[in-house]
Amino acid sequence: MLNKIFDMDNPVMRFMAKTFDMMILNFLFILCSIPIFTIGASLSALHYCCLKMKEPDEGYMYKNFFHSFKVNFKQGLGLGIPMLFLGLVLYLEYRATSALDASSVRMVRIMILVAAVIWYMVLCWLFALQSRFVNTVGQTYKNAMLLTFAKAPRSAAMVLIVAAELIIIVRSPAVVQSYSLLWLIMFGFSVQVLINTQLQYPVIKELMPGEAQENEPVADSQFTVDETADVSELGYTPLPKEEEESSPKEQESSPEQQAAEDEKNIADH
């Protein structure tokens, strides 16, 4: 009886193990984001771990986190800092316009909210792509913008989920709001990314190099890995180059080339 209860294949034990993993991942994310400028690498690592949970060989979450954090550290600087700055600007602008009662600023507030929604959708795709693909910072931004609109239903679902959570928290009693802070510290970030990756994984898998596709994904060529980058540690290989077949004219040597080769062979002997 006890063997069945503590068996790791038991659904209860699997749930407890997954809950513990999410708690540790959330702690690692907060810890590695404390310097602020490292938040890009931390988000990439968190997305990497949550995406790996959808695969059979997910490995050790803690090892995956630090591995991805190290690999994506430099790129994370170029992705995280601008997004953090833009998010802060949108927040301050909204707070500034909220203090005004004039009807003329209502449209401004709506525009800021629309910009914030797009910012969040791009943010979600940005670090999901960074965690599994090797590209320049500019190309990763471009790909994230492309997926934001190309996969609009999934992008909208991620926004609606986090909006529903915020509305519930804001309209809850003060006691519940205090517990929401505890939830954020223990599970908030990791669980939110895990929810988002449930929507992102089919798209990421579709775009992964080496995957056979029945239908070509949107702008697939823009999601190939950087051929000059070392991708041996990222768990996948770049798309193979297409070998151009030489034409019969290219295969046949000209008479002058053939004569030169014959003279060279005679000289060698």
DSSP, collapsed to helix, strand or coil, labels residue 53 as coil
Is pLDDT at 216 greater than 60 in this prediction? no
Domain ranges of the chain: 2-210+218-224
Mean pLDDT of 16-40: 92
Evaluated on CA atoms 21, 147, 131, 180, the torsion sign reads negative
Tokens of 173: 């009693």
Distances (CA, A) of 222 to 135, 139, 215: 9, 8, 16
30 contact partners, CB below 8 Å, separation of at least 6: 185, 189
User: pLDDT digit string (tens) for 118-152?
Assistant: 999 999 999 999 998 888 899 999 999 999 999 99
Segment 23-41 shows an average pLDDT of 94
Q: Best-predicted range by mean pLDDT among 150-154, 170-174, 242-246? A: 150-154
Alpha-carbon distance 153 to 245, whole Å? 42
CA distance 219 to 230: 23
pLDDT: is 232 or 215 the higher one?
232
- For residues 77-88, average pLDDT: 95
Two tokens, residue 192: 């939110």
Residue 77 CA to residue 74 CA, distance in Å, equals 5
Q: Which residue has the tokens 């005004």?
A: 100
Per-position DSSP letters for 120-155, written without gaps between them? HHHHHHHHHHHHH----HHHHHHHHHHHHHHTHHHH
pLDDT on residue 236: 38
- Show the 3-state SS of 205-227: HHHCCCCCCCCCCCCHHHHCCCC
Q: Give me the pLDDT at residue 135, please.
A: 86
224 contacts: CB under 8 Å, gap ≥ 6: 209, 238, 239
Listed in sequence order, the residues at least 6 apart from 145 whose beta carbon sits closer than 8 Å to its beta carbon are: 122
Rounded CA separation 213/208 (Å)? 10
Give the residue carrying structure tokens 């550290």: 73
CB atoms within 10 A of CB 128: 27
Ramachandran angles phi, psi of 81, nearest 5°: -65, -50
Dihedral sign for Cα atoms in the order 28, 33, 38, 42: positive
